[in-house]
């Protein structure tokens, strides 16, 4: 037979029945299904339908049935018929939401709050790239600076990719660096470089920079306050006149003792020459950051007038910085 509208129902369901075991002096019983109130059940005592409601025969809420008066075991009988009952919960069971339940690009910014998605509501690895709306990230305001206590979200590979938070300060700890402490000093005067064949400390008395307060322009000494490897550089611009000069060169002194020597033993000037030269040192030293210190010394052999620092052409320099490892 033809019809208009919805297909007529061809099957029916039965209302569930629960029989109670009477307990003397007891007025509270547990229902096998949760209900909104007493109107969701029909209660029958000794084959007589009871009137629901406060001040009547019984009330009900959730899974608790409360009688207005206790019954007697062996004398009274009681059962109920469920006319309506709750068949769902507000939240999905833990771990029940998988990839197949999510529509592509349907997880938007409004659904990802600071603490809205947690392990109790969404199964592990259930949200994949194709289900996240790109505007969740691209729609956010770009930051021009990051505070040390700002949080970063990352995947912990040691914990099967579990998401964890970390502050910016912890995230960048040990990453990169600014090559500090560091310093640079110069010697601009025409100062003599000491006696013949005698090591003399070079007086780099003008500070150019000192990041960390590690250079003393009075003692001409670099004393780093952090342990590590340091790049040390020295350029000595010198001149000599009216006397033979040979075996010139600088040396790096560590803790007051000769550490590395760079001496040009092959150079010799003649008796009447006026010679301008330079000596350079570049090297990497391991310093402990507590007591180690570095100084630059100079040596030369001459017959009459001692070589001196040349104040021209930018003078002489001494510098260093910590290497990022």
User: Mean pLDDT across the stretch 117-137?
Assistant: 57
- Identify the pLDDT of residue 116: 47
Q: Do residues 85 and 33 lie in contact, with contact meaning Cβ atoms separated by under 8 Å?
A: yes
Does residue 236 contact residue 314 with C-beta atoms inside 8 Å?
A: no
228, pLDDT greater than 90: yes
- Whether residue 92 lies inside any domain: the answer is no
pLDDT at 276: 61
Q: Are residues 37 and 167 in the same domain?
A: no
Whole-number Cα distances in Å, 66 to 42, 46, 78: 13, 17, 13
Q: Tell me, what's the pLDDT at 296?
A: 93
Please give the residue that has the higher pLDDT: either 98 or 176.
98
Domain residue limits at 158: 99-137+150-172
Give the three-state DSSP class for 206. Answer: strand
**Residue 183: per-residue pLDDT:** 96
**Alpha carbon of residue 38 to chain centroid:** 55
Q: How confident is the model at residue 11 (pLDDT cuts 50, 70, 90)?
A: low
The mean pLDDT value for 223-236 works out to 93
Question: Does residue 145 lie within any of the structural domains?
Answer: no
Instruction: Name the strand (E) or helix (H) holding 162.
Output: strand 162-167
Domain co-membership, 195 together with 317: yes
pLDDT of residue 272: 45
Q: CA 299, CA 281: separation in Å to the nearest integer?
A: 14
Q: Are residues 307 and 234 in the same domain?
A: yes
Residues 34 and 124 both lie in one domain: no
Find tokens 């030369």 and name the residue.
300
| Residues sharing a CB contact under 8 Å with residue 252, sequence separation 6 or more, in sequence order | 232, 234, 259, 260, 261, 281, 283, 285, 294, 295, 296, 297
* Rounded percentage of the chain residues whose pLDDT exceeds 70: 72
Beta bridge partners of 258: 253
Q: How many domains does the chain have?
A: 3
Q: Do 116 and 196 have their domain in common?
A: no
Give the least confident one: 12-16, 107-111, 203-207.
107-111
Mean predicted confidence (pLDDT) in 290-311: 83
* Tens of pLDDT, residues 27-80: 999 999 999 999 999 999 999 999 999 999 999 999 999 999 999 999 999 999
Q: Does residue 314 carry a pLDDT above 80?
A: no
What's the pLDDT at 87? 57
Mean pLDDT of 4-12: 65
pLDDT, greater one: 225 or 245:
225
Assigned domain for 162 exists? yes
> Which residues in 58-93 are b (16+ Cβ under 10 Å) and which e?
bbbeeeebebeeebeeeeeebebebeebeeeeeeee
Question: Is 82 a residue whose pLDDT tops 70?
Answer: yes
Instruction: For residue 267, give the CATH number of its domain.
Output: 2.60.120.40
Q: Residue 234 corresponds to which tokens in the numbers above? A: 């020295």
- Mean residue pLDDT of the chain comes to 80
**CA 45 from centre of chain:** 67
127 in any annotated domain: yes
Tell whether the model's pLDDT for residue 21 goes beyond 90.
yes
Residue 241, token pair as written in the block: 């006149």
Do 121 and 243 belong together in one domain? no
Q: Per the domain annotation, does 300 fall within a domain?
A: yes
User: What is the pLDDT at residue 273?
Assistant: 47
Strands 294-302 and 245-254: antiparallel
Radius of gyration of the chain (CA): 45
Residue-wise pLDDT tens digits, 131-169: 666 666 777 777 777 788 888 877 788 877 677 888 877
Q: What is the pLDDT of residues 244-274, one digit of tens each?
A: 677 777 889 999 999 988 766 445 555 444 4
Q: What are phi and psi of 3, to 5 degrees?
A: -155, 160
Q: Is the residue at 93 inside a domain?
A: no
Enter the pTM of the model. 0.49
Binned at pLDDT 50, 70 and 90, residue 120 comes out as: very low
Within the chain, where are the H helices?
Answer: 135-138, 168-172
């Amino acid at each position: 037979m033809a019809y208009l509208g919805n297909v007529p129902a061809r099957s029916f369901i039965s209302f569930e029945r629960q029989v109670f075991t009477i307990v003397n002096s007891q007025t509270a019983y547990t229902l096998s299904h949760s209900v909104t109130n007493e109107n969701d059940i029909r209660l029958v005592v000794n084959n007589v339908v009871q009137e629901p409601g406060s001040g009547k025969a019984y009330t009900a809420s959730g899974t608790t049935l409360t009688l207005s008066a206790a019954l007697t075991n062996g004398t009274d009988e009681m059962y109920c018929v469920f006319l309506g009952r709750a068949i769902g919960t507000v939240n999905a069971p833990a771990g029940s939401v998988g990839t197949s339940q999510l529509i592509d690009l349907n997880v938007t910014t409004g659904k990802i709050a600071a603490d809205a998605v947690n392990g109790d509501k969404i199964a592990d690895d259930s949200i994949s790239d194709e289900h996240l709306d790109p505007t969740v990230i691209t729609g956010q305001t770009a930051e021009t600076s990051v505070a040390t206590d700002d949080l970063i979200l990352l995947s912990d590979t040691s914990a099967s990719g579990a998401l964890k938070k970390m502050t910016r300060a912890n995230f960048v700890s040990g990453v990169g660096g600014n090559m500090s402490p560091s310093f640079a000093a110069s010697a601009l005067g025409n100062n003599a470089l000491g006696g013949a064949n005698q090591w003399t400390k070079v007086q780099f008395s003008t500070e150019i920079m000192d990041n960390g307060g590690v250079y003393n322009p009075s003692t001409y000494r670099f004393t780093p306050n952090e342990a590590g490897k340091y790049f040390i550089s020295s350029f000595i611009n010198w001149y000599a006149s009216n006397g033979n000069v040979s075996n010139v060169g600088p040396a790096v002194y560590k803790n007051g003792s000769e550490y590395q020597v760079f001496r040009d033993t092959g150079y010799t000037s003649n008796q009447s020459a006026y010679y301008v030269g330079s000596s350079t040192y570049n090297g990497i030293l391991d310093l402990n950051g507590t007591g180690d210190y570095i100084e630059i010394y100079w040596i030369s052999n001459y017959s009459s007038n001692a070589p001196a620092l040349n104040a021209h052409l930018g003078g002489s320099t001494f510098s260093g910085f910590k290497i990022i490892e």
